[in-house]
Amino acid sequence: MTVEARFDELIHAPTRLSIVSLLTATEWAEFKFLRDQVGLTDSALSKQLTTLEEAGYVEIRKSFIGKRPRTSVRLSAHGQQAFAGHVAALQEIVARSGLAVMPSAQT
């Protein structure tokens, strides 16, 4: 599978970047988990998720655990591609800059 390097404004925005990158690592993630990880209010997260859903980047699953509603989210295939493409675009930028790219950054 070839990933086309494509800068994605929607994914680039800091909060959505964290949401999407969290999702790449978590399969189905729960609303509260995301909310706490990215540090947004319910309303703000809800809106971002709607935005991502409208772009076709995430799937939102509403299930009931016992009697309580539970919203879970995961990246769609399309979202994964967009993220991969965006990362590739960033890497091209970095590559142009001549900065060395390490496979994994240790702090």
Partner DNA sequence: CTGCATACTTTCCTGGCAGGCAAGTACATG
Partner DNA sequence: CATGTACTTGCCTGCCAGGAAAGTATGCAG
Applying CB under 7 A, among 8, 11, 23, 31 the residue interacting with DNA is 31
Nearest 5°: the CA angle 76, 105, 52 is 20
Q: Which CB sits closer to DNA, 65 or 105?
A: 65
Strand partners, 73: 29, 60
If one asks whether residue 78 binds its own copies (CB under 8 A), the answer comes out as no
Structure tokens given for 24: 């790449």
93 binds DNA (CB under 7 A): no
Binding status of residue 10 toward its own copies by CB under 8 A: no
Which residue's CB is nearer to its own copies, number 63 or number 91? 91
CA-to-CA distance for 12 and 88, rounded, in angstroms? Answer: 12
Residue 59: both structure tokens together: 């799937």
Residue 1 interacts with, from DNA, its own copies, none (CB under 5-8 Å by kind) = none
